[in-house]
Each structure stands twice: as C-alpha cells, then as structure tokens.
Amino acid sequence: MEGDGRVRDIELAEDLGFQERMWRAQRISWAVMAALALAALLGLFGGGPLAGASAGGGEVSVPEYERFVRFGSPTTLRVRLEPPAGGGEVRLWVEQGYLEGVRLQRITPEPAGAEAARGGVLYTFRASGGPAVVTFDLEPDRAGLLEGSLRSGGGSVTLRQFVYP
Amino acid sequence: MDAVIRAAAIYIFLLVIFRTTGRRSLAQMTPFDLVLLLIISEATQQGLLGDDFSVTNSFLVVLTLVSLNLLLTALTHRFDAVDRWINDVPLVLIEDGEVLHERLRKARVDPEDVLEAARESQGLERLDQIKYAVLERSGGISIIPRRQDV
C-alpha cells in the first residue's frame, strides 16, 4: 500500500497517511484526558470546589449541597430553617420529585413526624430557639438532572443537582 | 438493561483509552504495567457490576463483553477503515539499515528498543545488521536481518 514511495521487498500493509491521523488522534485524546483529570480535580464530577453550592435564604436555605453528585455515592444536604419565634416546632416540606430521585439514609436530627402532603413529604422537627440545621444524608438513585423544592414557613428554595451515572 | 449498558460503556471506554495511549503501552509489558493492568481491572469491576451481585448480572455482563468483541472482530474483517482504527497498521522503523528517526520519535520507540528486539529474536549486535525493523500492529518489534553473505 502507500508507503513513502520507496520500493521494498517486504510485503507490508503500511499506511503512513493513516498513521499520521492516528498519531494526531492520540495527541488530541491525551489533551482530553488531561483536561478531564483537571476538571475532576476541580470538582466537575463531584467533590471539589466546583461542586459545592448553596441556595436560598430567609426562612429556608441550603447552605451546603453538591451541584454534581454521582449515582449511588453518598452526599449531604444541609438545610437551615428559621423556627417561629419562641421555638417549638418547625416544618419542612420536601417535594416528592426530589425524594424519588434519592435514597434517604438518615435525617439528623430525627424528625418528630413525617406525613405525606401536597405532592411531597412534610417533616416536623422539634426546635428550641435559634435557627435549626437539618442534615440529610442521601444517595442519588437516578442518573440525570435531580430537581426539587423545599419549603418552610413562607420561604422556598429549589435545588438543582446533576447526577452522573 | 443496566448490565448491558454498563458493560458496553466500560468496553468502549477501555477500548478508546487503550487505543489512544498507543500500542507501545502494553506489548512490551514491564512489571509495573502488569500491576497497572491489575489496578485497572479492580477499578472497573465495581462499575461493571454495580451493586447487583447476582449470577444473572455477571452472566449478562460477560455476555455483553463477549458479544461486543465478536461484533468488533466481524467489523474489522468487513471494513478496512475499522480494522485500521481498532488494530492499527504496521510501521517500518528501519529500512536497509537506515534508521527512520522521525518515525521512531513519533511512535515513541527508542533505538534501544529496536536493538533489544534484534538481540532477543535474531541475536544481532548492531543496527546496521538489520534490514527491516517493523513496529507490528500488536506493538512488538519484528526484525529481519541482512543476509550474512558479505
């Protein structure tokens, strides 16, 4: 086949044109690999500065969650709630769509009650003075975009997370 | 369904990785390459099986991997272009005792590697005793010595 034009007595399916293309493709792929590794270090695939996020404010906020998470690997959601003056009970409503996309491992503190309500679950926590911080330990159970809103009192916050397969 | 998609994804990923890191990477395997290979298999295992440890799942994964391999072999037989991308093409490194340095550099082969292959396969001592050195598709270097009638 095509070589460099020299006549040879060796039967060889050399193909310099292809060889050059292959080398170029290899060099491009090295660059892609390096870029992916760098992006992973920065947290594009979860667990880095790019992945950390916070949302909301006022009566319900999520000071800490991950924008990029992975299927089946644990992640944490910290929710800050403003209890009504005088303490007592604070309620947090979580949209059904969000709960369907995750496997809840633990809620800290344990909710005093949970009931199905208006397309979601309404959790009740006992709180005594100051803002209450509730931690959800969960594992994404479905790949793709994971969306859902949380509500408490008059406030509401919508979370958007991407779950890598 | 999951098992097939997982196996296919990992098959394709590994194919791309191993093709683009070049044929030199595995043919002349050093002890460290072997260790690396073991670690790679360890790392992919979890993704391959997911959290399903059933016999059915492992059957499906193996079935998918072997089928894909069959399919790829069939395609490489049928289409030359696929064959080249999957299996590469051979490359002449030394022609009539003349070392083609540019090619060696681009293929990431040292003259030392060529000499090593020459010693091992033909018992040759110097580069000028080589008529042809070919970087084969498998990644090995084959040596054709000059006739010894001089």
A20 shares its domain with A80: no
A75 shares its domain with A129: yes
Find the CATH number of the domain harbouring B98. 3.30.240.20
How close, in Å, is residue B140 to chain A by CA atoms?
Answer: 15
Mean pLDDT of B29-33: 82
Of the candidates A136, A138, A135, A134, which has an alpha carbon nearest to the alpha carbon of residue A73?
A138
From the CB of residue B132, how many other CB atoms can be counted at a distance below 10 Å?
Answer: 19
Within a domain: A140:
yes
**Domains in chain B: how many in total?**
2
Mean pLDDT of B98-120: 90
State the ipTM, two decimals: 0.81
Range of the domain at B22: 2-87
Q: Which residue of A has its CA nearest to B134?
A: A12
Compute φ and ψ for A67, nearest 5 degrees: -70, -40
Nearest CB neighbour to B91, from listed A14, A26, A72: A14
Query: Which residues from chain B sit within 8 angstroms of residue A23, using beta carbons?
Result: 106-107
Instruction: Note whether B20 contacts A10, CB cutoff 8 Å.
Output: no
| pLDDT score of A24 | 92
Torsion of CA B6, B8, B12, B15, to 10 degrees: 100
Contacts of A6 (CB under 8 A, 6+ apart): B95
Torsion of CA A85, A87, A93, A94, to 10 degrees: 120
Which one-letter amino acid corresponds to residue B121? S
Lowest mean pLDDT among A51-60, B51-60, B67-76, B84-93: A51-60
Q: Which residue of B has its CA nearest to A70?
A: B47
| pLDDT score of B150 | 52
Q: Using DSSP bridges, classify how beta strands A75-81 and A60-66 pair: parallel, antiparallel or unpaired.
A: antiparallel
How close, in Å, is residue A104 to chain B by CA atoms?
Answer: 17
Whole-angstrom Cα distance, residue A93 to residue A104?
15
Instruction: Note whether A22 contacts B91, CB cutoff 8 Å.
Output: no
Cis peptide before A84 (omega within 30 of 0): no
For A64, the 3-state DSSP assignment is strand
Mean pLDDT of B119-140: 89
B27 shares its domain with B72: yes
Average pLDDT score, chain B: 88
Burial A62-86 (b: 16+ CB within 10 A, else e): bebbbbbbbeeeebebebbbbbeee
| pLDDT score of A47 | 83
Instruction: Note whether A12 contacts B134, CB cutoff 8 Å.
Output: yes
Instruction: Note whether A19 contacts B91, CB cutoff 8 Å.
Output: yes
Range of the domain at A73: 52-164
> A89 at the B interface (CB within 8 A)?
no
Radius of gyration of chain B from its Cα atoms, rounded to whole angstroms: 20
**Tens of pLDDT, residue by residue, chain A (165 residues):** 444 556 677 888 888 999 999 999 999 999 999 999 999 999 999 888 888 888 887 788 898 899 999 998 999 999 998 877 777 888 999 999 999 999 999 998 999 999 998 899 999 998 887 888 999 999 999 999 999 999 988 889 999 999 998
Q: Which two tokens stand for residue B127?
A: 């580069």
| pLDDT score of A107 | 94
Lowest mean pLDDT among A65-69, B19-23, B56-60: B19-23
Of chain B, the percentage scoring pLDDT greater than 90 comes to 51
A100 shares its domain with A148: yes
CA distances from B68 to B47, B89, B123 (A): 18, 22, 41
A58 shares its domain with A31: no
A78 shares its domain with A23: no
Within a domain: B150:
no
| pLDDT score of A4 | 55
B71 shares its domain with B9: yes
> A71 at the B interface (CB within 8 A)?
no
B56 shares its domain with B16: yes
Size of interface A-B (CB pairs under 8 A): 40
Residues 30-89 of chain B with CB under 8 A from chain A are 50-51, 84-85, 88-89
Instruction: Note whether B88 contacts A22, CB cutoff 8 Å.
Output: yes
Compute φ and ψ for A24, nearest 5 degrees: -65, -45
Residues A8/B95, Cβ–Cβ less than 8 Å: yes
Compute φ and ψ for A58, nearest 5 degrees: 80, -130
B39 shares its domain with B80: yes
| pLDDT score of A2 | 43
Residues A124/A114, Cβ–Cβ less than 8 Å: yes
| pLDDT score of A117 | 87
**Predicted confidence band at B133 (pLDDT cuts at 50, 70, 90)?**
very high
A28 shares its domain with A63: no
| pLDDT score of A115 | 93
| pLDDT score of B24 | 61
Instruction: Note whether A30 contacts B16, CB cutoff 8 Å.
Output: no
| pLDDT score of A1 | 40
| pLDDT score of A6 | 60
* pTM for this prediction: 0.80
| pLDDT score of B69 | 96
What percent of the residues of chain A are helix, what percent strand, and what percent coil, each to the nearest 5?
20, 50, 35
Instruction: Note whether A25 contacts B20, CB cutoff 8 Å.
Output: yes
Nearest CB neighbour to B84, from listed A10, A18, A29: A18
**Domains in chain A: how many in total?**
2
Q: Using DSSP bridges, classify how beta strands B91-95 and A144-152 pair: parallel, antiparallel or unpaired.
A: unpaired
Q: Using DSSP bridges, classify how beta strands A75-81 and A132-140 pair: parallel, antiparallel or unpaired.
A: antiparallel
